Every structure is written in structure tokens, then in C-alpha cells.
Amino acid sequence: VGAGLTRADIVVAARNLMNEHGVEWLTMRRLAEHLGVKAGAIYWHFANKDEICVDVVDAIEADLDWSAATTGAPRERLVAHIECLRAHWQQNPSAVALGRRFRPTAAGRFTEAGQQLLIDMGLPADEAVEQWRALIWMVIGFFYVEDGVRHSTHHHPIEGEPGRYHVDVDDRRSLLDTGSLFARVVTLALDGLDAAVARARAGERP
């Protein structure tokens, strides 16, 4: 009876289920059950599970919108640019674990816009490419650590306060606020970029 299932159906279901229950939760059989079909049926549309994950990563990436980051000084626009990425990954939690395997670093027009912002800040074009790479590795790396914390036995989420954790380590308990920590990381990086801009303006080659 046929044609009830499309590639798009499978990708949409996989994306939603992963965002809701986590990447590890989703198996071929669960995905199939959700689609009202047997696991083998999916293999007529996709060669394997990885191929589905690649399409999910593509779909999530296509939804990334950074149009908010178009006003203010270059440094403020860059901060807004980065915060768009953070907001996007918070809305698509599975993108972190998925991207780690299938697209470890950002690319495409988001990267081009980011590099342009670094040029606007005063970096020469070739250095802007390198500094962007360093910046985005920091930011994406932060997301990976945050994702690890989410599954850690040492970190206990505080109910009602997303992004805040009690941390138990070496018999001491401390508090972790990933939101303010992220702001601190961005400040460190951008202050470092300001220094690089100052060096570039002074005509040095670091």
C-alpha cells in the first residue's frame, strides 16, 4: 500500500524525538513505532541511521537565524551574533550532540557574517578568518562542555532555574550558572579580540 512515508517525515520525527528525549534515546525501532511502521521500512528511504542524523543536522542548521545582530557597534553585533547561536542550540538541544559527530564546526553563511564582523572591528581579512575560527571553537566548545554537564553525575540541576546547577566535587558543593559563565567566556574572548585589533592597527604581525 505504499508512499505513506517520505524522507521528510522521517527527518521531522527524528528531530522532534531527539530534541524531546535526547539523541541516545532514539533508536530505529522507536522512530519506526512513532511513524506507525516497522524498522525495516526506514531503510528503504535511508541507507542507515547516520544518514538521517546528517539530514537532521542540516534541517536544524537551516533554521538558524541571526538577523537580530545587525545594529550597534561591531563588537555588540558580534556578541549578538554569538548569542543567536546559543539561543538556537538551546531550542535544539540535540544539535549539540549531533553536530559533534556530523558537523563539529560551524560553516556557511553564519561563518561568513561572523568573519565580516571581525573585519568591521578592524582585523585584516586573512586574520579575521583565523580569529573567527578560534572564536567559534571556544563557543562551540562551551556548548559541548555544557552538554556534558547536563549528563554528569556531579552536576545537579536546580529545579525551576534552567542553566543553574549544584556542583558536588571533592566534598565541596558550589553553584554553577551556565548563562553568566557563557557571558564571561564571551567577554574574555572579545577582550582578547580587542587586543588583536589594537595590534593589527599598530601594524604588528603577531
First to last CA, the chain: 66
Nearest Cα to Cα of residue 96 among 39, 18, 176, 186: 18
Are the CB atoms for 94 and 25 separated by under 8 Å?
Answer: no
DSSP single-letter state for residue 118:
H
- Residue with Cβ nearer a copy of itself (13 or 106): 106
Q: Binding mask 38-57 vs DNA (x if CB under 7 A, - otherwise)?
A: xxxx-xxx-xxxx-------
Q: Output the nine-digit C-alpha cell for 180.
A: 553568566
Between CA 128 and CA 5 the distance in angstroms is: 45
181: contact with a copy of itself by CB under 8 A: yes
- Binding residues for a copy of itself restricted to 106-145, rule: CB under 8 A: 107-108, 130-131, 133-135, 137-138, 140-145
37: contact with DNA by CB under 7 A: yes
Q: Output the nine-digit C-alpha cell for 134.
A: 578560534
151: contact with a copy of itself by CB under 8 A: yes
Number of residues that bind DNA (CB under 7 A): 23
Nearest approach in angstroms of CB 158 to a copy of itself is 17
Nearest approach in angstroms of CB 72 to a copy of itself is 19
49: contact with a copy of itself by CB under 8 A: no
Nearest approach in angstroms of CB 34 to DNA is 12
H helix runs in 68-177, sequence order? 74-91, 94-102, 109-121, 125-150
CA 97 to mean position of chain CA atoms: 9
Q: State the residues that interact with a copy of itself by CB under 8 A.
A: 99-105, 107-108, 130-131, 133-135, 137-138, 140-145, 148-149, 151-155, 169-170, 176, 181, 184-185, 187-196, 206
